Amino acid sequence: MASANKRPNILFICTDQQRGDSLNCTGASWAVTPNLDKLAGEGALFSHCYVQNPVCSPSRASLFTGKYVANHGLHANGVPLPARHKLFTRTLADAGYDCGMIGKQHLSPCDSWQTEPRFDDGYRVFHWAHGPNHRALENDYHAWLRKVHPDIYVKIFPDKGANENTAYSNKANTGTPIDHVKKEAHYSHWVAECAQDFIKQTRDQNEPFCLVANFFDPHHSFGAPQEFRDLIHLDAIPAPVTRDDELSNKPAEQTFYSETSYAGVAPGFQDYSDAQIREIRAQYWAMIALVDYEVGRILQALDETGQADDTLVIFTSDHGEMLGNHQQLLKGPQLYDDLTNVPLIMRWPNTIAAGQRIDQLVQWIDLPATFLDVAGCAAGQSVQGESLLPMLLPMRNQQQGQWRDWALSEYRDSGFTTDPQIMTTMLRHENWKLIIWHGSPATAGQRNGELYDLSSDPHELHNLFHEPSHATVRQRLKLKLLDVMAETEDRSFPQSRDW
């Protein structure tokens, strides 16, 4: 199959809960991310990549289906992905790609140690592990740990799993025991081990591969092996972004989410002292340093086997983390850049020019469209994103039409539920960010929302939504949002007849 060799391998590395600005190369000078910085230097770094939902499962569903949250139906964690969808990995497998998945998937409920059912996903290799503390029998990380480090496994998981462990890990602020094991026994290390094994040994040598390597880090519970914590200088990390009285002109729900996280399931920002918040932030970057180290090992496997030039490497994350900014922690209905802006690096030597920095607004659902594009597959009408290749390749750039000038992110009671349910919608457009806090369509009355001028207020500290001076721009953006909502409807069923 020499003719198929022109299609690159796709190595998709995705972390969990990693902020867009958390890398050294994206502005965190205190971050220890040499491998990712190098990767960015060798490829393209996107400064404005937005996810379509700020929590795991709905965001990942958008990635794998290529559809906006309103259309794929997995609107909240705990909702299974409706079976009617086709995953991009299935399309790649149909096109001959050797597909594998390692780590966290989360396209179906995982609460109560549930195992995710397999979809018609096209994976030949499937090493599933929802997280380091998740005690499904099918947790492949645990199976590996039991085999390779039985002493560690038995020490940390002495009994059969109880669901309280989830609550425990949600409440921890400096990690759980499994987060602090030596790096050779860590979940992130296991991901890299599996990826190395796939790249070096088990991949089909006759076909290009698509490997999805999903890290759980830097998802809370804010703990990393001590050697990585030792790399982080606590004093170099700035204090969280906020200002006096910041929440008084934000939607009232944000005060609630400051007092408590996950709608009451986890401690809130206000439960912690300043010192504790500082340590949480240090642990966060310790986890990122660990991820960077393990990503380095995966990339090394590509280099060692001479596959780097034939491989499109993508590094990104499914959503961000409040990390104390705006006096809030973890994630939820807040649609700050803290949660919606994620890192995105794409490296494909000799094809994507090195050192590019792309400032245009792009969306996570553009990734599956890009993968199908590089694999020579028709995206089909069901994928709503657009391939990023034209933006990256000088030859194709000239043919490119107008790139979309907006990004959309939608929270639909997606995290831990509240009564009444909270639904929020973010529109990024020009220098503006509009966030609607939805109410009932049956009732009139003033709505709550947020409006930020990111050119003068990049940290989203000053809510202009209710400012009379900004009434015109507010209305203009609301109408733009209505246009975007019409634009993003699912019209993927073909009009096969004229009438």
Pairwise CA distance, residues 338 & 323, whole Å: 8
| CA–CA distance, 450 with 435 (Å, rounded to integer) | 5
**Cα gap 397→389, rounded to integer Å:** 8
The pattern of x and - marking residues 264 through 283 that bind another protein according to CB under 8 A reads -x------------------
Give yes or no for a contact between 424 and 333, defined as CB atoms under 8 angstroms apart: yes
Query: Is the bond into 420 cis (omega within 30 degrees of 0)?
Result: yes
Q: Among 285, 266, 316, 249, which Cα is nearest to 460's?
A: 249
x/- string (CB under 8 A) for another protein, residues 41-80?
---------------xx-----------xxxxxxxxxxxx
**Shortest Å distance, C-beta 481 to another protein:** 6
Residue 164 binds another protein, judged by CB under 8 A: no
- Name residues whose C-beta falls within 8 Å of residue 71's C-beta, 6 or more positions apart in sequence: 384, 488, 489, 490
Q: Does 445 bind another protein (CB under 8 A)?
A: yes
By the rule CB under 8 A, 462 interacts with another protein: no
* Peptide bond connecting 58 to the previous residue in cis, omega within 30 degrees of 0: no
Six-digit token string for 15: 């972390």
| Residue 408, beta-bridge partner list | 427
- Helix, strand, or coil here: 246? helix
Q: Which two tokens stand for residue 190?
A: 């296991």
Which of 248, 397, 400, 475: binder of another protein (CB under 8 A)?
A: 475
Binding region for another protein (CB under 8 A) out of 137-145, 221-229, 352-360, 409-417: 409-417
Question: What does the alpha-carbon distance between residue 365 and residue 52 come to, in Å, rounded to a whole number?
Answer: 8
- Binding residues for another protein restricted to 477-496, rule: CB under 8 A: 478-483, 485-487, 489-496
416 binds another protein (CB under 8 A): yes
DSSP element (H, E) containing 374: helix 366-374
CB nearer to another protein: give 137 or 479. 479
The 226-265 site mask, x for binding another protein (CB under 8 A), equals ---------------------------------------x
Q: How far is the CB of 118 from another protein (least distance, A)?
A: 18
Asked if 436 is part of the footprint of another protein (rule: CB under 8 A), the reply reads: yes
Identify the residue among 135, 219, 229, 412 touching another protein (CB under 8 A): 412
- Which residue matches tokens 């609630």? 256
Identity of the residue, 49 or 436, whose beta carbon is nearer to another protein in the bound complex: 436
**Options 34-42, 212-220, 292-300, 442-450: segment touching another protein (CB under 8 A):** 442-450
Residue with tokens 């999805």: 212
Rg from Cα positions in the chain: 22
Lookup: tokens for 298: 């995966």
211 binds another protein (CB under 8 A): no
Min. distance of Cβ 436 from another protein in angstroms? 6
Give min distance, CB of 296 to another protein, in A. Answer: 31
The DSSP code sequence of 53-113 is: SSSHHHHHHHHHH---HHHHS--STTPPPPTT---HHHHHHHTT-EEEEEE---SS--GGG
- Site residues for another protein, window 106-145 (CB under 8 A)? 109-112, 114
Which residues contribute to the site for another protein (CB under 8 A)?
Answer: 56-57, 69-80, 82, 84, 109-112, 114, 265, 410, 412, 416-417, 423, 425, 436, 438-447, 475-476, 478-483, 485-487, 489-499
